Amino acid sequence: MKQVSPDSGCRVTIVSIYNMENTSIRYFIPILRQAGHTVQVVYFQDYYVNDAVSHTRTQEDMFIDVIKGFNPDIVAFSVISSTFFPVTRDLTELVTEKIGALTIWGGVHAMVNPDQGIEIADCVCLGEGEYPLLDLANAIARGESHDAIPNLWVKTPDGIRKNPVRPMIENLAELPLPDYSDDNKYYIKDKVYTGDPFKEFNWQYFVHASRGCPLSCSYCMNSVLKPIFGSGRLRKRPVESVVAELEYVRETLPLVGSIWFIDEAFLTNDDWIDEFVQLYPKRVGLPFGISNIPGFIKAKHLTKLKKAGLFEVDMGIQSGSQKVRYEIFNRRVSTEDILNAAQAVHECGIDLKVDLIFDNPYETEEDKQELFELLMKMQPPFEFCIFSLTWFPGVPLTQRALADGIITEEQLEDRAGKAKEQWAITMDFPRSRDEQFWISICMLTGKPWFPRPLIRWLSTKKIVREKPGILQPIIRVNTLIRWILKGIPVLLKGQVPWTLVRKRWRFMLKAVK
Ligand code: B12
Ligand code: SF4
């Protein structure tokens, strides 16, 4: 291991794997720099949906060359998803072999399976990473031991030391503004690009107005993360802090034309909303969307938010069967909540997108029929985000499926990497004819121009059941029309959707093929 001279700042390389959006590491940069450390950031490849391209030997060489040139003391990997565990493992091993810097892993997958991570990296961070990483950099810079830093699992000569997790950051406003400058940033793709890649490729900015979620759905990481973070993981950010970040985004990222609040649930109280709708339009003024849980969507909030620029609400239905939602997904969202929320969004004249999960072996034909009936009760138009159930290691649903013998260890996402090519559902992926039928027929329900009696009639036809592919041309034409309709306003506003097309073309092609 390299020796660091005491009292000088330390040199930290932060690596983001297939994820140029990576929000969390952009908060790490100013925290480390303000403490006198020198930071390099390397974005290794990118991935949006279903379009991950395997990395090459040449890219590994470029990665090592870029890091070697910086000569870091610490190389910190952000392991957001299990899908990219193998590539993170390979790159970490390369860093250990060729650079010899201390390696640390943090992020969702690192937390889910720290035993696996600590076999590969020197340290693994559980919980929020801002202060543990700072403590580690400080300790290395001062030549002190880092063995006892809270949140860290550390390899020591006496074995693995598992330190307790510190309390969560209660006041999220104490975090600095994230860093989207070009300073010492690299993006490795077909060649090495310099500068923050987000600037060139993204026209929608993801922001959190809170951290945490009130639910613990059995397929979702929150069910695993909550016990690590402790109860009460849900924290709201003050409006001022959110608006200040978005003002900075407007100044720094000229391509950004809309904001998406990616909070697990855009939970709000009347006071927060009132302050937000005062400040946001004056100081940010970009159209924005929110993700939310049906039971928390209220018409009185939507009306105010729409005036402030809310154009779309994304809400999770996941399964049409309340029994599946409650008993399989541990998701206490009633059918009534879903219908009421959809109605409220529709009445407020806001676009609605609903999330569904297919490829769920615990769902029966009756459950899928229930989904169809539920969607038929909702007023179109609405769009879909349709996901393929993914077996994330450690979540309760995966444990249950393993115990029930429905899946094998090979299907766990850190081995299977299914999300690389099938996160959002596309029809070229192998699945049963019945599943294809239900996906196709459900997708028709959101189109206002498609007569409901015709959808119902189609749903009863044997030929459609046997050859669900015959519905595909209709669905694809609709997808194309939707993209054209969404693209034209963006063009007219002077924003360039080409950047978006460049980022998402593989997925777009697949979806209309
Ligand atoms: C927004 C989001 C995205 C965005 C942007 C990601 C981002 N911001 O980095 C996009 C759309 C790009 C995305 C993509 C994907 N995502 Co996503 N995403 C999320 C979501 C909803 C929020 C992530 C976030 O910003 N959290 C807020 C920040 C502050 O928290 P954080 O990222 O966890 O970081 C903290 C700690 O983890 C830690 N930390 C993180 N990195 C590091 C590094 C070091 C060195 C240290 C010390 C600490 C540390 O400190 C941070 C700050 O406290 C999460 C849900 C969730 N609960 O996390 C899913 C989630 C992370 N995504 C998930 C998945 C599966 C994916 C995709 C595979 C699928 C897809 N959408 O196509 C890809 C994979 C991307 C990749 N390369 O790994 C899963 C991962 C589950 C798993 N075990 O694999 C999650 C958990 C959702 C779920 N279903 O449970 N995602
Ligand atoms: S509501 Fe969404 S973010 Fe929260 S636990 Fe369920 S799936 Fe996860």
Cα 347 to Cα 319: distance, rounded to the nearest angstrom: 23
Residue nearest ligand 2's atom 2 by CA:
264
Ligand 2 atom at minimal distance to the Cα of residue 222:
5
**Residue 78 alpha carbon to ligand 1 centre in Å:** 9
Neighbours of 387 (CB within 10 A): 20
Q: What is the residue with the minimal CA distance to atom 81 of ligand 1?
A: 81
Domain ranges of the chain: 11-174
Ligand 2, residues 315, 331, 356, 385: which to mutate, most atoms within 8 A of Cβ? 331
Give the model's pLDDT for residue 495.
52
Say which amino acid occupies 169. Answer: I
pLDDT at 484: 78
Listed as ranges, residues in the chain with pLDDT below 70 are 1-7, 231-233, 490-513
As given in the structure block, the two tokens for residue 490 are 């963006």
pLDDT at 3: 47
User: Ligand 1, closest atom to CA 23?
Assistant: 8
In whole angstroms, give the CA distance from residue 325 to residue 317.
Answer: 9
Angle between helix 433-444 and 365-377 (nearest 10): 10
What residues are in contact with ligand 2 under a 6 Å CB criterion? 213, 215-217, 220, 222, 264, 293, 316, 331
Alpha carbon nearest to ligand 2 atom 8, residue: 220
Enter the tokens of residue 305.
Answer: 């938010």
C-beta of residue 356 within 8 angstroms of C-beta of residue 317: yes
pLDDT of amino acid 503: 59
Tell me the pTM: 0.94
| Bridge partners for 105 per DSSP | 77, 124
Q: How far away, in angstroms, is 135 Cα from ligand 2 center?
A: 31
Torsion sign over Cα 330, 332, 334, 337 = negative
C-alpha to C-alpha distance for 110 and 120, rounded to whole angstroms: 11
Ligand 2 centroid to Cα of residue 389, in Å, is 14
Q: Whose CA is nearest to atom 53 of ligand 1?
A: 128
DSSP structure string for 214-230: S---TTSTHHHHHHHH-
Contact 458, 464 (CB under 8 A): yes
- Shortest-distance ligand to the CA of residue 331: 2
388 alpha carbon to ligand 2 midpoint, in Å? 16
> Which residue type, as a one-letter code, is found at position 12?
V
Determine which residue's CA is closest to atom 6 belonging to ligand 2.
217
pLDDT at 2: 46
For residue 77, what are the β-bridge partners?
15, 105
**What superfamily does domain 11-174 belong to in CATH?**
Cobalamin-binding domain (3.40.50.280)
- What the block records as the tokens of 403 is 């115990």
Query: What is the 108 CA–ligand 1 centroid distance (Å)?
Result: 6
DSSP for 148-175, written as a single string: T-TTEEEEETTEEEEPPPPPP-S-GGGS
Alpha-carbon span 174 to 70, nearest angstrom: 30
Centroid of ligand 2 to alpha carbon of 1 (angstroms): 41
Ligand 2: distance of its center to the CA of 356 in Å?
13
SS3 396: helix
Q: Return the structure tokens found at 270.
A: 């009347």
Measured in angstroms, how far is the CA atom of residue 6 from the centroid of ligand 2?
45
Distances (CA, A) of 33 to 4, 60, 178, 184, 380: 17, 27, 12, 12, 50
Q: b/e per residue, 274-302, with b = 16+ CB within 10 A?
A: eebbebbeeebebbbbbbbbbbbbeeebb
Distance CA 442, CA 475 (A): 10
- Tokens 């390899």 label which residue? 155
Residue 291 to residue 348: CA distance in whole angstroms: 16
Instruction: Indicate which residue's Cα is closest to atom 72 of ligand 1.
Output: 49
Atom of ligand 1 nearest to the CA of 395: 83
Burial (0-12, 13-18, 19+ Cβ within 10 Å), 252: middle
Q: Which ligand is nearest to the CA of 92?
A: 1
Q: Which residues contact 231 (CB under 8 A, 6 or more apart)?
A: none
